[in-house]
Structure 1
Amino acid sequence: MKAVFLAAFFLSPISSAYAQSKPVSKPVSKSETYKDIIEKAYNLSLQKDRQQALNILMTALQKETRPQAVAELRKALVDVAHVFISDKAQQAYEAGLSLRKTDVVQALAKLNDAARMEPDNIAILTELSRALIAKGDCSGAQDNLVKQIKLFPYDEELKLGSAQALVCQASWLDYAKLYDSTDVKKSAFQKFWLILEVERYFKTKMTLKAQENLAVLKKLDPKYPEVSYWSWKIAQAAALPGKKVGFEDAQKYVMACKNISANQYRQYMIDPMLCRHLPEVEADLKGSNGTAE
């Protein structure tokens, strides 16, 4: 969504006017409004000077106290931090996204290429962390975002990416702090926060809380494949020893993941573990004389 917004901005007549002006390197004038500073930052982005754009926005943000101005400056910071400066970096990033479902190693290679070209691009770094989680490198995923989360603690997607890495490491206390600092009900990523809550409570033996969050998630998006996975896991945990349950949820998960379209995968791929539990579920079905077909 950020990419669409920024593309529209950069192709507008206003952005063309910005592109014709010289990059701004002078200190912020007292007569400049915060909107002027935001315009200059976008201009600097067009001139491929992301760092200077971020610098003037951060300087303005540190001095600003008005709620609306603070909100708009933060939004501009996030926009600039996510925009692609290089076509080659964006192409490598898109290739990484396309490869993650079938070949996470190759996806990582492409995303690392993109990160080398734009090491300060948060969109690239966040996706790189998700690919590392998918590969099982949880600490690497978190290390990749440590610096950025300190600089942009209000970037929702970055915060979610950090939370996913913490859950991957079972760092429950740090994860809880991050979750508690987020208004999940108003978040555009609510479903992905909820799936983390299900996993958190399941793995900390708080099954009732896991079920409560899963029920909310089912109402929010019943087609999300990981809903079926966690329904199956919770049913298995509650079953008597030696008794196999949850066949319907298991089969639903397998079918959803095997038949997921490219568009559907893109819709849910913010979850780095999307359909990554397929081997586990298929093995259980086969071991129970079920079918994974």
Structure 2
Amino acid sequence: MKSIFLKAALGAAFLLPAPAFSQSKSETYKDIIEKAYNLSLQKDRQQALNILNAAIARDSRPLAQAELKKAALDVAHVFFSDKAQQLYETSLSLKKSDLNQAISKLSEAQRIEPDNLTIIIEAARLQIAKSDCSNAQEGLVKALKLVPFDEDLKLANAQAQACSGSWVEFAKNPESVDAKKSSYQKYWMALTVEHQLKLKNLTKASEVSANLIKLEPKYPEASYWSWKVSQALKKSNVEFGQKYVMACKNISASQYRQYMIDPMLCRRTTEVEGEIKGMNGTTE
């Protein structure tokens, strides 16, 4: 996961005496970044983000914007505590097999670092997996006020919107219209298929699900959404359902970790198996 190992890098690069934090006229955006990293080393994440966000609002130059935003993401995601990071990693390892234990471990991590964005995002995804949609959204909305340009955070918020059925809000996300520029394209596409199915726009849902299968055929949820589209079209293509169930049953730990940004990854196998059996099919 991104920024987990930034602590050592920040320490190596910015073991400098903390300067005064009033801005002078000659202060550059690089000076601001240095101040933010020094504050981060002092575990003052909130103040570091405050001065970075103020600089982002003030300096419109593209290079400055890019570097200031990168610094803000570094600060927002970095772990200050080895214990919190260990608990986070343990939670990830438990996510597939024991969701309740994963939540318990992550809650411990969050008590240590309540403002760590990596933990906040993962906590929301675990809540989504438990259908605790409103609590998932609450934490993400607060975080978006600090780092609205975080791509993973925006995706997690959209996933929470889908969880709660807030489709009007979901449709306001630019990625819900065109996800091609996002590094999380496949997850946005899965959400878009679900959205279009809710709208009963079966042509669009079918188009996006077909493109998703082509883009990422090993992503289990691509098969799931093709299955749901086939049902909506009254085609009931058992093949997609069987492929989804078998992909989830055979998924390796590394594959699961690759796709677990999707909070519903392989959590609907019972639903699909039941429907296939009802059609006198088989999952074998």
TM-score > 0.5, shorter chain as reference: yes
Q: Tell me the CA shift for residue 43 of structure 1.
A: 2.6
Tell me: CA distance 1:185–1:94, structure 2 relative to 1, closer, same or farther (3 Å): same
Match of 1:22 among 17, 22, 29: 17
2:26 matched to which residue of 1? Answer: 31
1:3 matched to which residue of 2? Answer: 3
Q: Tell me the CA shift for residue 178 of structure 1.
A: 1.9
2:228 matched to which residue of 1? Answer: 233
Match of 2:267 among 276, 283, 291: 276
Structure 2 matches for 1:42-57, cutoff 5 A?
A: 42-57=37-52
Give the % identical residues.
60
Tell me: CA distance 1:179–1:5, structure 2 relative to 1, closer, same or farther (3 Å): farther
2:170 matched to which residue of 1? Answer: 175
In the alignment, residue 188 of structure 2 is paired with which amino acid? Answer: W
Match of 2:254 among 250, 263, 279: 263
Q: Tell me the CA shift for residue 268 of structure 1.
A: 0.5
Q: RMSD of aligned C-alpha atoms?
A: 1.9
Could you list the structure 1 runs, at least 4 aligned residues long, displaced by more than 3 angstroms after superposition: 179-183
Deviations 1:97-138 (A, max 9, x none): 111111211111111111111111111001100000001111
Distance in 1 (alpha carbons) for counterparts of 2:38 and 2:199: 49
Distance in 1 (alpha carbons) for counterparts of 2:196 and 2:214: 19
Structure 2 matches for 1:1-293, cutoff 5 A?
A: 2-3=2-3, 6=6, 9-10=9-10, 15-16=11-12, 18-19=14-15, 21-179=16-174, 184-239=179-234, 245-293=236-284
Distance in 1 (alpha carbons) for counterparts of 2:13 and 2:89: 29
Q: Identify unmatched segments of 5+ residues in structure 2.
A: none
Query: Does structure 1 conserve the Cα–Cα contact (< 8 Å) formed by 2:110 and 2:116?
Result: yes
Distance in 1 (alpha carbons) for counterparts of 2:233 and 2:240: 14
In the alignment, residue 132 of structure 1 is paired with which amino acid? Answer: Q
With a CA cutoff of 8 Å and minimum separation of 6, indicate the structure with the bigger relative contact order.
Answer: 2
Distance in 2 (alpha carbons) for counterparts of 1:183 and 1:28: 39
Of 96-105 and 191-200, more deviation after overlay is shown by 96-105
Q: Identify unmatched segments of 5+ residues in structure 1.
A: none
Q: Tell me the CA shift for residue 46 of structure 1.
A: 2.5
Distance in 1 (alpha carbons) for counterparts of 2:177 and 2:200: 23
Distance in 1 (alpha carbons) for counterparts of 2:122 and 2:55: 29
Query: Does structure 2 conserve the Cα–Cα contact (< 8 Å) formed by 1:89 and 1:115?
Result: yes
Distance in 1 (alpha carbons) for counterparts of 2:67 and 2:272: 45
In the alignment, residue 3 of structure 1 is paired with which amino acid? Answer: S
Distance in 2 (alpha carbons) for counterparts of 1:5 and 1:184: 28
Tell me: CA distance 1:280–1:217, structure 2 relative to 1, closer, same or farther (3 Å): same
Query: Does structure 2 conserve the Cα–Cα contact (< 8 Å) formed by 1:163 and 1:179?
Result: no
Q: Tell me the CA shift for residue 72 of structure 1.
A: 1.4
SS at match of 2:171: helix
Distance in 2 (alpha carbons) for counterparts of 1:198 and 1:182: 11
Q: Tell me the CA shift for residue 215 of structure 1.
A: 1.9
Deviations 1:246-282 (A, max 9, x none): 2211111111001100110011000001111111011
Q: Tell me the CA shift for residue 200 of structure 1.
A: 0.4
Q: Tell me the CA shift for residue 78 of structure 1.
A: 1.3
Tell me: CA distance 1:83–1:277, structure 2 relative to 1, closer, same or farther (3 Å): same
In the alignment, residue 108 of structure 1 is paired with which amino acid? Answer: I
Q: Tell me the CA shift for residue 73 of structure 1.
A: 0.8
In the alignment, residue 68 of structure 1 is paired with which amino acid? Answer: L
Distance in 1 (alpha carbons) for counterparts of 2:60 and 2:233: 51
Distance in 2 (alpha carbons) for counterparts of 1:169 and 1:250: 25
Distance in 1 (alpha carbons) for counterparts of 2:91 and 2:138: 20
